Amino acid sequence: MTTQKMTTRTDAVVLRGENLTRTYGSGATATHALRGVTVDVHAGELIVLRGPSGSGKTTLLNILGGLDVPTSGTVRLDDREITGASESELVELRRHELGFVFQGFALLPVLSALENVELPMRIAGVAAPERLARTTELLAAVGLADHAAQRPDELSGGQQQRLGIARALANEPKLLIADEPTGQLDSTNAETMMALIAALVHDRGVAAIVSTHDPRMAAYADRTVEIRDGLLTD
């Protein structure tokens, strides 16, 4: 992939997490999943968040994306603080500004590939001709143009993950958050997937933060961030 080194990174900060902590439970059995994490995501950059299992990657991504609330610290998207935003504000934000790719794909099994990508646009009220144009373009971009009518269970694991990425990009988010998108793929598919994410991010000028426990994925990043036991290490 030649696009991988053509970074679209700018100095503008799209997302900033500051002094984030997250403690699950309390007292003697408390787990300190995040212990004071500060991270900036710049417009157009691809960050790879690396760390072993249990280091806090999912916790951090969920908090950055407004799916979970930190025990302390703040998250800002552009100039808005999303920690403390109301649930309806968060719904709008997730609908229009953020795209999520989940570990288990989270596709709707009764919908076709095309309908899965189209769904977030329907919810956002995008008109039908525009929906069809965007869906067609996205399915082609992830190599699924010939699979539009198939349901998720009729696709391979790699194809399902590519569909998840197309769906995450449906509403043209500023920031793509992907939690171990290569975790359930074999190593060849994992490399292909990471190259695809890098190409999509750089072609569209989207910022992305992608977690992995696979050290080889760092090759595709504009920047790598390491997490250990709830703390970033440099």
Binding-site ranges for ligand ADP (CB under 6 A):
24-25, 31, 33, 51, 53-59
For Mg ion, the closer CB: 44 or 181: 181
Q: Whole-number minimum distance, CB 232 to ligand ADP, in Å?
A: 12
Nearer of residues 21 and 189 to ligand ADP, judged by Cβ:
21
- For the CB of residue 17, give the shortest distance to ligand ADP in the complex, in Å: 14
Taking the C-alpha atoms of 95, 151, 131 and 85 in order, what is their torsion angle to the nearest 10 degrees? Answer: 0
> Residue 230, SS3?
coil
Choose from ligand ADP, Mg ion, none: what does 56 bind? Cβ within 5-8 Å by kind: ligand ADP
Picking from 179, 146, 149, 186, the residue whose alpha carbon sits closest to that of residue 164 is 179
Of 59 and 171, the one with the shorter C-beta distance to ligand ADP is 59
Least CB distance from residue 164 to Mg ion, whole Å? Answer: 16
Rg (CA), the chain: 17
Task: State the minimum distance, in angstroms, from the CB of residue 120 to ligand ADP.
Answer: 24
By CB under 5 A, residue 55 contacts Mg ion: no
Q: Determine, following the binding rule CB under 5 A, whether residue 58 of this chain makes contact with Mg ion.
A: yes
Distance CA(150)–CA(163), nearest Å, equals 11
* CB proximity list for 186: less than 8 A, separation 6 or greater: none
Question: Measured between alpha carbons, how far is 72 from 49 in angstroms, rounded to an integer?
Answer: 21
Of 42-50, 55-63, 87-95, 170-178, the segment contacting Mg ion by CB under 5 A is: 55-63
47 and 210 Cβ atoms separated by less than 8 Å: yes
Q: How far apart are CA 69 and CA 60, in angstroms?
A: 10
Considering beta carbons, is residue 56 or 173 the nearer one to Mg ion? 56
Least Å from the CB of residue 209 to ligand ADP: 13
Residues that bind Mg ion (CB under 5 A): 57-58
